[in-house]
Structure 1
Amino acid sequence: MTTHHVHASHPALVTRLKRADGHLRAVIEMIEAGKPCLEIAQQMQAVEKAITNAKRALIHDHMDHCLDAEGSETDRAELRTIARYL
C-alpha cells in the first residue's frame, strides 16, 4: 500500500507542471497549425526541460525530506532506486 506524501514543495511543483502542460498544448496547436519544424522543436525542447527540472526538484526534495539521515537499508535501497530517475 502506498502512503500519501505531501511536501511543502508540491504546490510549486504542481504549478510548474501545469505551466508545462499549457506549453505542451501550445506545441500541439503549433503542429496542427503547420508551424515550422524548427519552431516546434525549440518549443518541445523547452517543454522537455521544464518537465526534467520538475522531476529533478521532486527527487531532490524526496531525498532531502523523506530519507532518514541515519540511512537505514530501506532508505539506501530507495535512494538507489529513485536516483535512477535523475
Structure 2
Amino acid sequence: MSQTKQHTTHPDLIKRLKRAEGHLRHVIGMLEDERPCADIATQMQAVERAITAAKRTLIHDHIDHCLGSGTDASSQAAARDLAELRLLAKLL
C-alpha cells in the first residue's frame, strides 16, 4: 500500500467537502420539508458535482505528486505513461 501524506491540496479539499456536507444536510432538510422534487434534484446535482470535483482534484494530485515522484518517472516511457494516466483520469 502506498504511503499516505498530506498534499498541499488536502486543506482545500477538506473545506470543499465540509461545504458539500453542509449542502447535503440542506438537501435532506428540503426532503423533510417536502419541497418540490425539481428543486431537490437541482440541489442534489450541485452536491454531486462538488464531490466529483473534489475526487478529481485528489486523483490528479496523487498522479502528479505520488506516482510521478519515483526515480523511474524521469524516463520518457514513464513520462508518457503518466501523461496517458492524466488523460484517462479526466474521464472520472
Q: What TM-score do the two structures reach when normalised by structure 1?
A: 0.79
Aligned to 2:30: 30
Shift of the alpha carbon at 1:2?
5.6
Larger radius of gyration: 2
Residue-pair matches, total: 81
1:2-81 matched pairs, under 5 angstroms: 3-68=3-68, 69-70=73-74, 71=78
Please identify, of 25-34 and 62-71, the stretch whose mean Cα deviation from structure 2 is larger.
62-71
Deviations 1:48-85 (A, max 9, x none): 000000000001111111113233xxx97xx6xxx4x8
Give the partner amino acid of 1:47: V
From the superposition, tell whether residues 46 and 18 of structure 1 become closer, same or farther in structure 2 (CA, over 3 Å).
Answer: same
C-alpha distance in 2 between matches for 1:21 and 1:46: 11
Q: What is the RMSD computed on CA atoms of the aligned residues?
A: 2.4
Structure 1, unpaired ranges of 5+: none
Shift of the alpha carbon at 1:3?
2.8
Sequence identity (%) = 62
C-alpha distance in 2 between matches for 1:9 and 1:52: 15
Structure 2, unpaired ranges of 5+: none
C-alpha distance in 2 between matches for 1:18 and 1:2: 26
Runs of 4+ more than 6 Å apart: none
Structure with greater helix share of residues:
2
